[in-house]
């Protein structure tokens, strides 16, 4: 299946990956300028990536994933569904996939809620608590 992209037209996948990039950046508590500096591009380029206006090369996406401490497939979460919505692919789901999707939705919702907090210090603090709880460290013992 090949699909040509008309110059100047973003695909739904470009937009999805851009949204995931913005989400990862916000979860990490860094600015577009900081991410741009780490990636060796301008902050305007990061803006274009996040809006889906420019495609992200696979090698660049890997660099960004490493810097943001995210597995590469995290950026593609929802891509199959997006393709199916565009009529390019049929996605069959079994109960395990549906459960994974529900879990991903909860994770995304929690992450979005943290990103919506206007205070970056509080965002980082909540993220730290979540990491401690998920790794079973002292925060779990304290909560009991």
Per-residue model confidence as pLDDT tens for the chain (144 residues): 444 444 567 788 899 999 999 999 999 999 999 999 999 999 999 999 999 999 999 999 999 999 999 998 888 887 777 766 665 443 444 444 455 556 666 776 777 777 778 887 887 888 778 778 877 755 445 554
**What is the distance between the alpha carbons of residues 95 and 7, in angstroms, rounded to a whole number?**
39
- Secondary structure (DSSP) of the chain: ---PPPTT---HHHHHHHHHHHHHHHHHT--HHHHHHHHTS-HHHHHHHHHTSSPPPHHHHHHHHHHTT--GGGGGTTHHHHHHHTTS------HHHHHHHHHHHHHHHHHHHHHT-S-HHHHHHHHHHHHHHHHT-HHHHHH-
pLDDT of residue 35: 95
pLDDT of residue 2: 43
**What is the distance between the alpha carbons of residues 123 and 35, in angstroms, rounded to a whole number?**
17
pLDDT of residue 140: 45
The tokens 């979540």 sit on which residue?
A: 130
CATH class, domain 7-91, is mainly alpha
**What is the distance between the alpha carbons of residues 110 and 112, in angstroms, rounded to a whole number?**
5
pLDDT of residue 53: 93
pTM score of the predicted model: 0.55
């Amino acid at each position: 299946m090949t699909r040509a992209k008309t110059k100047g037209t973003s695909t739904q996948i470009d937009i999805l990956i851009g949204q995931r990039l913005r989400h990862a950046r916000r979860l990490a508590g860094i600015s577009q300028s900081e991410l741009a500096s780490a990636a060796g591009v301008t902050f305007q380029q990061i803006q274009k990536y996040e809006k889906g206006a420019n495609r992200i090369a696979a090698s660049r996406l890997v660099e960004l994933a490493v810097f943001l401490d995210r597995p590469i497939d995290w950026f593609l979460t929802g891509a199959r569904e997006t393709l199916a919505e565009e009529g390019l692919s049929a996605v069959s789901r079994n109960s395990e996939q549906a459960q994974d999707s529900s879990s991903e939705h909860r994770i995304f919702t929690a992450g979005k809620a943290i990103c919506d907090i206007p205070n970056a210090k509080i965002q980082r603090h909540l993220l730290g608590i979540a990491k401690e709880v998920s790794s079973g460290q002292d925060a779990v013992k304290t909560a009991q």
